[in-house]
A and B are shown apart, each in its own frame.
Chain A
Amino acid sequence: MSRSSRFRRSLQSRPDRKLVSAIMLFFFSAFLLIAFKGELHWQGFTLAAVVPALIYIATMWLPRFFPADKLLLSVANFLCALGVLVLYSTDLVKGTNYGMQQAVYYGAGILVMLVCILLVRYIRYWRVFIYIIAVCALGLIALPLVFGTEVYGATNWIIVSGISLQPSEVVKLALLLVLSYYMSRRRFWPWLIFAVICMGVLMFQRDLGTALIYYATALFLYYASTGNLWITGAGILGGAASAVYGYYQFAHVKRRIAVWLNPWMDFENTGYQIAQMLMAIASGGLFGVGLGLGFPTIIPVYHTDAIFAVICEQFGIIFGVLILIMYAILILRGAFIARNARRSFHGLLAMGVTVMLALQTFVIIGGVLKLIPLTGVTMPFVSYGGTSLVSCMGLIGLLQGVASVNQDDLTYDYEVSHSRVDGESLPFASLDE
Chain B
Amino acid sequence: MPDDIYEIVSLAARYWFLLLMFIIAWRSYRWYVKDRKKFKRRVRLLPDAGYIGELVVVQGDDILKKGTCLPVNREGVLGYLRSNDVCVPAGGIANRHMWYTFDDTDGLRVEPMRGRMIIADGEELIGRRMRAYLAHGSTLTVGQAKMRLRMFSGFEYAGETGAQRRPLDDDETTLPEELADAPHSDPVRRMHEIAAWQTMMEDEENEEREFYPPEMDDTDEEDEYPPPADEPGPNAYELQDGSQVFYPPVDDGKDEAAIYAEEDEAEKAKRALWDRLFRGGKNR
Contacts and interface: CB of A to CB of B under 8 A. Distances in A.
Contacts of A410: 42-43, 46, 49
Contacts, number: 173
Contacts of A315: 14, 17-18, 21
A25 B20 CA distance: 8
Interface in B96-129: 96, 99, 101, 103
Interface stretch (B4-12, B54-62, B168-176, B228-236): B4-12
A344 B155 contact: no
A71 B14 contact: no
A412 B152 CA distance: 13
Interface in B33-86: 34-36, 38-39, 42-43, 45-46, 48-50, 73-77, 79, 83-85
B29 A329 contact: yes
Contact of B15 (A287, A293, A332): A287
Interface stretch (B134-142, B255-263, B276-284): B276-284
B25 interface: yes
Main secondary structure of the interface of B (DSSP, over half): helix
B35 A431 contact: yes
B222 interface: no
Interface string A28-53: 01100100111000000000000000
Interface string A235-271: 0000000000000000000000000000000000000
B13 A290 contact: yes
B247 interface: no
A322 interface: yes
Interface residues of A, number: 65
Nearest to B131: A125
Nearest to A292: B10
Contacts of A78: 24
A342 B279 contact: no
A227 B15 CA distance: 47
B81 to A, nearest CB: 9
Interface string A304-319: 0000000000011011
Contact of B279 (A38, A226, A290, A414): A226
A315 B50 CA distance: 45
A153 interface: no
Given A38-B1, A342-B74, A421 B18 contact: no
Contacts of A23: 24
A150 interface: no
A322 B43 CA distance: 31
Given A26-B24, A414-B46, A416-B153, A336 B36 contact: yes
B31 interface: yes
Main secondary structure of the interface of A (DSSP, over half): helix
B167 to A, nearest CB: 16
Interface in A71-105: 71, 74-75, 78
A325 B22 CA distance: 10
Contacts of B103: 124
27 contacts: A15-B27, A15-B30, A19-B31, A22-B23, A33-B13, A38-B3, A71-B35, A78-B24, A185-B77, A185-B99, A186-B79, A186-B83, A291-B13, A293-B7, A319-B18, A329-B28, A333-B32, A344-B76, A410-B46, A410-B49, A413-B48, A413-B49, A413-B154, A416-B152, A416-B154, A428-B42, A432-B31
Interface of A: 15-16, 18-19, 22-23, 25-26, 29-30, 33, 36-38, 71, 74-75, 78, 124, 184-186, 226-231, 287-288, 290-293, 315-316, 318-319, 322-323, 325-326, 329, 332-333, 336, 340, 342-345, 409-410, 412-418, 420-421, 428, 431-432
User: 6 closest A-B pairs (Cβ-Cβ)?
Assistant: A416-B154, A228-B280, A290-B10, A343-B75, A36-B1, A342-B74
